[in-house]
Structure 1
Amino acid sequence: MSVKQLAMPLIQEQINELRAGDRVELTGWMYTARDAAHERMVEMVQAGGTLPVDIAGQTIYYVGPTPAKPGQIIGSAGPTTSSRMDPYTPVLLSLGLKGMIGKGSRSQSVKEGIVQSRAVYFAAIGGAGALLAKTIRSAEVVAFHDLGPEAIYRLEVERFPVIVINDICGGDLYQQSQSL
Protein backbone atom coordinates (compact mmCIF):
# COMPACT_ATOMS: atom_id res chain seq x y z
CA MET A 1 0.00 0.00 0.00
CA SER A 2 1.40 3.38 -0.97
CA VAL A 3 1.87 6.25 1.45
CA LYS A 4 0.28 9.57 0.53
CA GLN A 5 2.42 12.65 1.11
CA LEU A 6 0.33 15.63 2.23
CA ALA A 7 1.29 19.21 2.99
CA MET A 8 -0.31 21.09 5.88
CA PRO A 9 -2.36 23.02 6.37
CA LEU A 10 -4.56 20.52 4.59
CA ILE A 11 -6.67 21.73 1.70
CA GLN A 12 -10.17 20.44 1.09
CA GLU A 13 -9.22 18.71 -2.15
CA GLN A 14 -6.68 16.60 -0.24
CA ILE A 15 -9.19 15.70 2.45
CA ASN A 16 -11.81 14.77 -0.17
CA GLU A 17 -9.47 12.10 -1.58
CA LEU A 18 -8.68 10.43 1.76
CA ARG A 19 -10.37 7.20 2.78
CA ALA A 20 -10.31 5.18 5.98
CA GLY A 21 -7.22 2.99 5.92
CA ASP A 22 -5.06 5.32 3.83
CA ARG A 23 -1.50 5.66 5.07
CA VAL A 24 -0.32 9.27 5.08
CA GLU A 25 2.80 11.26 5.92
CA LEU A 26 2.11 14.87 6.91
CA THR A 27 4.56 17.72 6.38
CA GLY A 28 3.99 21.30 7.48
CA TRP A 29 2.42 23.05 10.46
CA MET A 30 -0.07 21.73 13.00
CA TYR A 31 -1.23 22.65 16.49
CA THR A 32 -1.31 20.54 19.62
CA ALA A 33 -4.05 20.53 22.23
CA ARG A 34 -5.29 18.15 24.88
CA ASP A 35 -8.21 18.06 27.31
CA ALA A 36 -7.50 21.23 29.28
CA ALA A 37 -6.79 23.33 26.17
CA HIS A 38 -9.90 22.00 24.43
CA GLU A 39 -12.06 22.81 27.41
CA ARG A 40 -10.61 26.31 27.62
CA MET A 41 -11.09 26.95 23.89
CA VAL A 42 -14.73 25.88 23.97
CA GLU A 43 -15.38 28.02 27.06
CA MET A 44 -13.87 31.01 25.22
CA VAL A 45 -16.13 30.44 22.22
CA GLN A 46 -19.22 29.94 24.38
CA ALA A 47 -18.44 33.20 26.19
CA GLY A 48 -18.37 35.01 22.83
CA GLY A 49 -14.59 35.35 22.70
CA THR A 50 -12.10 34.40 20.04
CA LEU A 51 -9.60 31.60 20.12
CA PRO A 52 -5.91 32.34 20.73
CA VAL A 53 -5.10 30.62 17.41
CA ASP A 54 -7.15 30.47 14.23
CA ILE A 55 -8.05 26.79 13.82
CA ALA A 56 -9.91 27.21 10.53
CA GLY A 57 -8.34 24.82 8.05
CA GLN A 58 -5.88 23.52 10.64
CA THR A 59 -4.99 20.15 12.18
CA ILE A 60 -4.79 19.52 15.93
CA TYR A 61 -2.59 16.76 17.32
CA TYR A 62 -3.78 15.40 20.66
CA VAL A 63 -0.46 15.31 22.47
CA GLY A 64 1.16 16.63 25.62
CA PRO A 65 4.85 16.40 24.77
CA THR A 66 7.43 15.71 27.44
CA PRO A 67 10.13 18.32 28.06
CA ALA A 68 12.96 18.36 25.56
CA LYS A 69 16.33 17.03 26.66
CA PRO A 70 19.39 19.15 25.83
CA GLY A 71 19.88 19.26 22.08
CA GLN A 72 16.33 18.12 21.31
CA ILE A 73 13.49 20.13 19.80
CA ILE A 74 10.86 18.33 21.85
CA GLY A 75 10.57 15.33 24.15
CA SER A 76 8.46 12.27 23.52
CA ALA A 77 5.37 13.25 21.55
CA GLY A 78 2.98 10.31 21.38
CA PRO A 79 -0.77 10.63 20.82
CA THR A 80 -3.28 10.69 23.64
CA THR A 81 -6.73 9.09 23.66
CA SER A 82 -8.94 11.09 21.31
CA SER A 83 -12.28 10.31 22.94
CA ARG A 84 -11.32 12.66 25.78
CA MET A 85 -11.65 15.54 23.29
CA ASP A 86 -15.03 14.35 21.95
CA PRO A 87 -17.17 16.68 24.12
CA TYR A 88 -15.37 19.68 22.59
CA THR A 89 -14.71 18.54 19.04
CA PRO A 90 -18.09 19.44 17.44
CA VAL A 91 -17.62 23.10 18.43
CA LEU A 92 -14.11 23.17 16.95
CA LEU A 93 -15.27 21.45 13.77
CA SER A 94 -17.95 24.13 13.42
CA LEU A 95 -15.13 26.72 13.53
CA GLY A 96 -13.38 25.09 10.57
CA LEU A 97 -11.02 22.54 12.14
CA LYS A 98 -10.09 20.15 9.30
CA GLY A 99 -7.82 17.52 10.81
CA MET A 100 -7.34 15.72 14.11
CA ILE A 101 -4.63 13.29 15.14
CA GLY A 102 -4.82 11.00 18.17
CA LYS A 103 -5.42 7.39 19.06
CA GLY A 104 -8.57 5.38 19.56
CA SER A 105 -12.11 5.63 18.24
CA ARG A 106 -14.39 8.67 18.20
CA SER A 107 -17.97 9.12 19.38
CA GLN A 108 -20.85 8.98 16.93
CA SER A 109 -21.41 12.75 17.24
CA VAL A 110 -17.78 13.42 16.30
CA LYS A 111 -17.93 11.01 13.37
CA GLU A 112 -21.07 12.79 12.15
CA GLY A 113 -19.32 16.15 12.63
CA ILE A 114 -16.37 14.92 10.55
CA VAL A 115 -18.72 14.08 7.67
CA GLN A 116 -20.69 17.35 7.98
CA SER A 117 -17.55 19.49 8.24
CA ARG A 118 -15.72 17.47 5.58
CA ALA A 119 -12.80 16.91 7.93
CA VAL A 120 -10.57 13.92 8.71
CA TYR A 121 -9.42 12.02 11.78
CA PHE A 122 -6.00 10.37 11.71
CA ALA A 123 -4.44 7.96 14.19
CA ALA A 124 -0.79 8.12 15.15
CA ILE A 125 1.01 5.13 16.61
CA GLY A 126 0.47 4.91 20.36
CA GLY A 127 3.61 4.05 22.31
CA ALA A 128 5.89 5.51 19.64
CA GLY A 129 6.27 9.01 21.07
CA ALA A 130 10.07 9.06 20.82
CA LEU A 131 9.92 7.97 17.17
CA LEU A 132 7.20 10.51 16.32
CA ALA A 133 9.23 13.28 17.99
CA LYS A 134 11.95 12.68 15.40
CA THR A 135 9.59 14.03 12.70
CA ILE A 136 9.15 17.34 14.55
CA ARG A 137 11.36 20.10 13.16
CA SER A 138 10.26 22.94 15.46
CA ALA A 139 7.96 23.44 18.43
CA GLU A 140 6.71 26.68 19.93
CA VAL A 141 4.14 27.28 22.67
CA VAL A 142 1.57 29.68 21.21
CA ALA A 143 -1.23 29.70 23.81
CA PHE A 144 -2.12 28.69 27.36
CA HIS A 145 1.48 28.64 28.60
CA ASP A 146 0.19 27.96 32.12
CA LEU A 147 -0.94 24.47 31.05
CA GLY A 148 2.65 23.25 30.69
CA PRO A 149 2.78 20.23 28.38
CA GLU A 150 -0.94 20.67 27.67
CA ALA A 151 -0.38 24.18 26.30
CA ILE A 152 -1.10 24.75 22.63
CA TYR A 153 2.06 24.27 20.59
CA ARG A 154 2.65 25.03 16.95
CA LEU A 155 4.66 22.17 15.49
CA GLU A 156 6.46 21.95 12.20
CA VAL A 157 6.62 18.31 11.14
CA GLU A 158 8.21 16.42 8.28
CA ARG A 159 6.80 13.08 7.11
CA PHE A 160 4.75 12.59 10.28
CA PRO A 161 3.19 9.09 9.87
CA VAL A 162 -0.56 8.64 10.38
CA ILE A 163 -3.41 6.51 9.11
CA VAL A 164 -6.88 7.75 8.19
CA ILE A 165 -9.49 6.43 10.63
CA ASN A 166 -12.56 8.54 9.83
CA ASP A 167 -13.15 10.17 6.44
CA ILE A 168 -15.68 12.53 4.86
CA CYS A 169 -17.75 9.60 3.55
CA GLY A 170 -18.36 8.16 7.00
CA GLY A 171 -15.65 5.53 6.64
CA ASP A 172 -14.37 4.18 9.96
CA LEU A 173 -11.28 1.96 9.86
CA TYR A 174 -11.93 0.60 13.36
CA GLN A 175 -15.45 -0.52 12.43
CA GLN A 176 -14.27 -1.92 9.10
CA SER A 177 -11.54 -3.98 10.76
CA GLN A 178 -14.00 -5.43 13.29
CA SER A 179 -16.22 -6.74 10.50
CA LEU A 180 -13.41 -8.67 8.78
Structure 2
Amino acid sequence: MSLKNVSLQQFTFRTGVVAAAMVAVWSGFTGTAGANPTDPVAQFTSTLTRVPGSNCAAILNAETVAQPQSGTFGVRVKITQTGQSCGAYYLTVHWKNVGTGLTSGQSQKVEGTSVVGLPDNVITGMGMGPGAGKVEAWIDTYSEVYPQNADLEHIAGRATFTLG
Protein backbone atom coordinates (compact mmCIF):
# COMPACT_ATOMS: atom_id res chain seq x y z
CA MET A 1 0.00 0.00 0.00
CA SER A 2 1.49 3.33 -0.98
CA LEU A 3 1.50 6.55 1.04
CA LYS A 4 -0.96 8.08 -1.46
CA ASN A 5 -3.54 5.35 -0.79
CA VAL A 6 -3.22 5.72 3.02
CA SER A 7 -3.68 9.50 2.79
CA LEU A 8 -6.66 9.08 0.47
CA GLN A 9 -8.28 6.57 2.84
CA GLN A 10 -7.79 8.88 5.85
CA PHE A 11 -9.21 11.83 3.91
CA THR A 12 -12.24 9.79 2.80
CA PHE A 13 -12.84 8.54 6.35
CA ARG A 14 -12.59 12.05 7.86
CA THR A 15 -14.85 13.50 5.17
CA GLY A 16 -17.42 10.78 5.90
CA VAL A 17 -17.32 11.47 9.66
CA VAL A 18 -17.73 15.23 9.12
CA ALA A 19 -20.58 14.69 6.64
CA ALA A 20 -22.37 12.31 9.05
CA ALA A 21 -22.02 14.81 11.90
CA MET A 22 -23.42 17.62 9.73
CA VAL A 23 -26.39 15.49 8.66
CA ALA A 24 -27.08 14.60 12.31
CA VAL A 25 -27.06 18.27 13.32
CA TRP A 26 -29.28 19.34 10.43
CA SER A 27 -31.82 16.56 11.00
CA GLY A 28 -31.95 16.93 14.78
CA PHE A 29 -30.45 13.60 15.86
CA THR A 30 -27.99 15.22 18.24
CA GLY A 31 -30.59 16.70 20.59
CA THR A 32 -34.21 17.51 21.18
CA ALA A 33 -34.19 20.22 18.49
CA GLY A 34 -36.52 22.86 19.86
CA ALA A 35 -38.08 20.95 22.74
CA ASN A 36 -38.58 23.10 25.76
CA PRO A 37 -37.51 21.06 28.80
CA THR A 38 -39.08 23.69 31.06
CA ASP A 39 -42.60 22.85 29.80
CA PRO A 40 -44.21 21.46 32.97
CA VAL A 41 -46.40 18.37 33.04
CA ALA A 42 -50.01 19.50 33.41
CA GLN A 43 -52.65 17.25 34.96
CA PHE A 44 -56.14 17.32 33.46
CA THR A 45 -59.11 17.13 35.79
CA SER A 46 -60.75 13.70 35.44
CA THR A 47 -63.07 13.13 32.50
CA LEU A 48 -66.11 11.11 33.53
CA THR A 49 -68.07 9.49 30.71
CA ARG A 50 -70.72 6.94 29.93
CA VAL A 51 -69.51 4.27 27.53
CA PRO A 52 -71.64 2.34 25.01
CA GLY A 53 -72.76 -0.96 26.57
CA SER A 54 -74.56 -2.33 29.58
CA ASN A 55 -74.09 0.05 32.54
CA CYS A 56 -70.67 1.10 31.21
CA ALA A 57 -68.72 4.11 32.37
CA ALA A 58 -65.12 5.28 32.36
CA ILE A 59 -62.83 7.65 34.21
CA LEU A 60 -60.12 9.18 32.03
CA ASN A 61 -57.16 10.66 33.88
CA ALA A 62 -54.74 12.50 31.63
CA GLU A 63 -51.51 14.49 31.72
CA THR A 64 -49.46 16.35 29.15
CA VAL A 65 -46.30 14.77 27.75
CA ALA A 66 -43.38 16.88 26.46
CA GLN A 67 -42.70 16.50 22.75
CA PRO A 68 -39.46 16.95 20.78
CA GLN A 69 -40.80 19.94 18.86
CA SER A 70 -41.46 23.34 20.43
CA GLY A 71 -45.12 24.39 20.65
CA THR A 72 -46.48 20.83 20.62
CA PHE A 73 -47.70 18.50 23.33
CA GLY A 74 -48.88 14.95 23.82
CA VAL A 75 -51.46 13.58 26.23
CA ARG A 76 -51.07 10.34 28.20
CA VAL A 77 -54.45 8.86 29.16
CA LYS A 78 -55.07 6.37 31.97
CA ILE A 79 -58.50 4.74 31.66
CA THR A 80 -60.54 2.97 34.33
CA GLN A 81 -63.69 1.36 32.92
CA THR A 82 -66.61 -0.50 34.50
CA GLY A 83 -69.62 -2.34 33.05
CA GLN A 84 -70.36 -5.37 30.92
CA SER A 85 -69.98 -5.80 27.16
CA CYS A 86 -68.74 -2.24 26.82
CA GLY A 87 -68.29 -0.91 23.31
CA ALA A 88 -65.63 1.26 21.71
CA TYR A 89 -65.85 5.04 21.74
CA TYR A 90 -63.72 8.04 20.84
CA LEU A 91 -62.02 10.66 22.94
CA THR A 92 -61.05 14.03 21.57
CA VAL A 93 -58.37 16.28 23.01
CA HIS A 94 -59.41 19.84 22.09
CA TRP A 95 -57.13 22.83 22.62
CA LYS A 96 -57.08 26.60 22.24
CA ASN A 97 -53.98 28.81 22.20
CA VAL A 98 -55.21 31.73 24.32
CA GLY A 99 -52.72 34.21 22.80
CA THR A 100 -53.30 33.45 19.11
CA GLY A 101 -56.89 32.18 19.24
CA LEU A 102 -55.86 29.09 17.23
CA THR A 103 -57.98 26.00 18.02
CA SER A 104 -57.85 22.37 16.95
CA GLY A 105 -57.60 18.90 18.43
CA GLN A 106 -57.34 15.22 17.74
CA SER A 107 -59.67 12.21 18.18
CA GLN A 108 -58.60 8.66 18.99
CA LYS A 109 -60.55 5.41 19.32
CA VAL A 110 -60.72 3.77 22.76
CA GLU A 111 -61.39 0.08 23.36
CA GLY A 112 -61.54 -0.99 27.00
CA THR A 113 -58.63 0.71 28.77
CA SER A 114 -56.51 1.27 25.65
CA VAL A 115 -56.25 4.07 23.13
CA VAL A 116 -56.17 2.03 19.92
CA GLY A 117 -52.81 1.90 18.15
CA LEU A 118 -50.93 4.22 20.51
CA PRO A 119 -48.07 2.95 22.67
CA ASP A 120 -48.50 3.81 26.36
CA ASN A 121 -51.83 5.55 25.54
CA VAL A 122 -49.95 8.73 24.50
CA ILE A 123 -51.83 10.85 21.97
CA THR A 124 -49.60 12.85 19.63
CA GLY A 125 -49.86 14.01 16.07
CA MET A 126 -50.74 16.74 13.63
CA GLY A 127 -53.64 18.02 15.77
CA MET A 128 -51.47 18.62 18.81
CA GLY A 129 -49.48 21.73 17.82
CA PRO A 130 -50.97 24.94 19.21
CA GLY A 131 -47.65 26.80 19.20
CA ALA A 132 -45.94 28.59 22.05
CA GLY A 133 -48.03 30.32 24.69
CA LYS A 134 -50.83 29.67 27.16
CA VAL A 135 -53.01 26.71 26.12
CA GLU A 136 -56.41 25.61 27.38
CA ALA A 137 -57.23 21.96 26.66
CA TRP A 138 -60.20 19.70 27.36
CA ILE A 139 -61.22 16.10 26.69
CA ASP A 140 -64.62 15.09 25.27
CA THR A 141 -66.05 11.69 24.32
CA TYR A 142 -68.35 10.56 21.52
CA SER A 143 -69.70 7.42 19.90
CA GLU A 144 -69.46 6.73 16.18
CA VAL A 145 -73.01 5.96 15.08
CA TYR A 146 -74.75 6.25 11.73
CA PRO A 147 -75.61 8.78 10.29
CA GLN A 148 -73.88 11.21 12.66
CA ASN A 149 -71.52 10.90 15.63
CA ALA A 150 -73.21 11.34 19.00
CA ASP A 151 -71.65 12.96 22.05
CA LEU A 152 -71.60 10.65 25.05
CA GLU A 153 -72.78 11.95 28.39
CA HIS A 154 -69.61 13.19 30.03
CA ILE A 155 -67.95 15.76 32.23
CA ALA A 156 -64.95 17.10 30.32
CA GLY A 157 -61.48 17.00 31.88
CA ARG A 158 -59.63 20.30 31.58
CA ALA A 159 -56.09 21.64 31.87
CA THR A 160 -54.33 24.96 31.34
CA PHE A 161 -50.59 25.08 30.64
CA THR A 162 -47.92 27.09 28.86
CA LEU A 163 -45.81 25.79 25.98
CA GLY A 164 -42.40 27.25 25.18
- TM-score, normalised relative to structure 2: 0.23
Higher share of residues assigned helix:
1
Structure number with the higher strand fraction is: 2
So what's the TM-score if we normalise by structure 1?
A: 0.22
Q: Which has the higher contact order (CA 8 A, sep 6+)?
A: 1
Specify the structure having the higher radius of gyration (Cα).
2
